[in-house]
Amino acid sequence: MSAMRVPTSLPDLLRSAAFARAYALTAIAAAFLSTAVGRVAGTTTLATIVTGLVVLGVSVLVLRRDELSVIGFAPTSLVAFVAWALISFSWALDGAHGRALSSWLTLAAWTIVAITVAHIRDTLQIVRAVGDVLRWLLSASLAIEVLSGIIFDAPLARLGVQGLIAYGGPVQGLFASRNLLGFVTVIALVTFIIEWRARSVPRPVAVYSIVLAALLAAFSGSPTALVVAAFTLLAVLLLSLARRTERAARRRLNAVIASIAGAGILGLWILHRPIALFLANRSGFASRVELWSAIRVWIGQRPVTGWGFFGSWEGDPFPTNIIDLTVAKENDSALNAYVDVVMQLGWVGLLLFCAFAALALVRAWLAGSDRRSVVYSWLPLMLVVLLVESVFESYTLTNVGWFLLVICAVRAGQERSWRTSIDMTAPIPLPPQLSGPR
């Protein structure tokens, strides 16, 4: 066996497979730890980390430009949404331009980092990298909760850890809130099960990972995680059915699944008010309905363009400061990504966001149902997790949620895209190898 060639220059290092793997692991860890880093070290430290990843990512893409295609570089719908968010800077209120620009730069930075990861790693390598990172982060989260709640019996305020594991939770781990931890555990369960099915990790590692994620999901006590997990399980069953169906009948089955899903979404949209009022009488949901009602007033004032992109509600940008006063509660988001998009970018922004997400899901679903390797199931299942979670939280507009959404959309576009018929030189993805260097 020939020895691995050692990079002799900085460009060689940046183009190497070892650097690609290290970059992917670092970027994924930074995305999942963004909330913890911001709480402990401050937003300046987080911005520095992301800026460094952007500089390295752009350098890698420039050096690998001969492997890339302009047409296949990023989905058009993604470019349109990010461009609309930038254009919204022009109608932001006086005094809010600085916040709008910094928020857009954050969105663009995570977009660049995600595109870089999607281009320098294939789907299996991304699944492995996400699995490796989440194994360490969830293990560390459990260790921190045990230290805080059992050994020292004291909360860790900077991390948001309340130390309640001895009482059955809820726990937060490294993710600041039980809902974010619950969201991460669902992502982890999907990833770990795909790893196990693809035989990309030893069986004891897979069993440990799945048990760890399930344990922390239970301790998180997140009601949204339970709903997201239920919809994801339904998606698993439908995708498995599509994968087992003969190719000739698979297109018709996928059309039926898409029609049912579309009808369900339309029905939920038409009946969203009575459904919200019904759920408002249930524990933990009344505050969300009150918040959405307060936001609707402000959406009505700027329905087409919105109030300008500002991402998260951190720092109480206008009109979120007035909304928080109205509901007498401080919120980090609209607790619904779609509502947040309408408020910030108007109905135009929502249409662009939904088009971006829907195209990514369709492409990922077709790739997941047609390809033999189970690893391609990760893309549609991850998109289902992200889009269902968006009904209850706004994670997909910032940090790790947006990062994963862009990765899945870019990879799905590479696996199944009409654009390859325009550019015949666009690279065609090869089936992943289940062995070899990681």
> Would the pTM count as exceeding 0.85?
yes
Q: Are 83 and 91 in contact (CB under 8 A)?
A: no
Number of other residues whose CB lies within 10 A of the CB of residue 93: 13
Strands (E), 288-418: none
Q: How far, in Å, CA of 364 to CA of 376, rounded?
A: 8
Cα angle at 280 between 278 and 286, to 5 degrees?
A: 175
Q: Is the peptide bond before 429 cis (omega within 30 degrees of 0)?
A: no
pLDDT at 184: 95
Placement of tokens 């430290």 in the chain? 45
pLDDT of residue 287: 80
Query: What whole-number distance in Å separates Cα of residue 316 and Cα of residue 331?
Result: 9
The DSSP letter of residue 156 is: B
CB 104 within 8 A of CB 309: yes
Q: Residue 156 phi/psi, 5° resolution?
A: -110, 90
d(CA 252, CA 237): 17
Question: Could you tell me which residues are beta bridge partners of residue 161?
Answer: 156
- Would you mind telling me the total number of residues written for the chain in this entry? 438
Tokens found for residue 68: 């890339």
Interior angle at CA 106, CA 404 and CA 44, nearest 5: 115
Q: Could you state, in order of their start, the residue ranges of all structural domains in the chain?
A: 65-105+247-421
Q: Which residues pair with 5 in a beta bridge?
A: none
What gap in Å lies between CA 341 and CA 351, rounded to an integer?
Answer: 9
DSSP character string of 213-227:
HHHHHHHHT-HHHHH
Residues of the chain with pLDDT under 50: 1-3, 421-438
| Helices and strands, counts by H and E, the chain | 17, 0
Which alpha helices (DSSP H) does 121-177 contain, by range? Answer: 123-146
* The residue to which tokens 């470019």 are assigned: 79
Residue 190's pLDDT is: 95
pLDDT in tens, 229-285: 999 999 999 888 888 888 778 888 888 888 888 887 887 777 666 766 666 665 567
End-to-end CA distance of the chain: 17
Tokens of 235: 């998606």
Residue ranges of alpha helices (H) inside 42-122 are: 43-63, 76-87, 97-120
Q: Does the CA dihedral 324-327-333-339 come out positive or negative?
A: negative
| 173 contact partners, CB below 8 Å, separation of at least 6 | 137, 138, 140, 141, 142, 144, 145, 161, 181, 216
| Cα–Cα distance for residue pair 257/343, rounded to 1 Å | 31
Q: How far apart are CA 201 and CA 216, in angstroms?
A: 21
pLDDT of amino acid 67 = 80
What angle do helix axes 203-220 and 123-146 make, rounded to 10 degrees?
50
The model's pLDDT over 5-29, given as tens digits with 9 standing for 90+, comes to 667 778 888 888 889 999 999 999 9
ω into residue 319 within 30 of 0, thus cis?
Answer: yes
Residue 1's pLDDT is 40
Alpha helices (H) along 147-246: 178-198, 203-220, 223-244
Cβ neighbours for 290, distance < 8 A, ≥ 6 positions apart: 280, 327
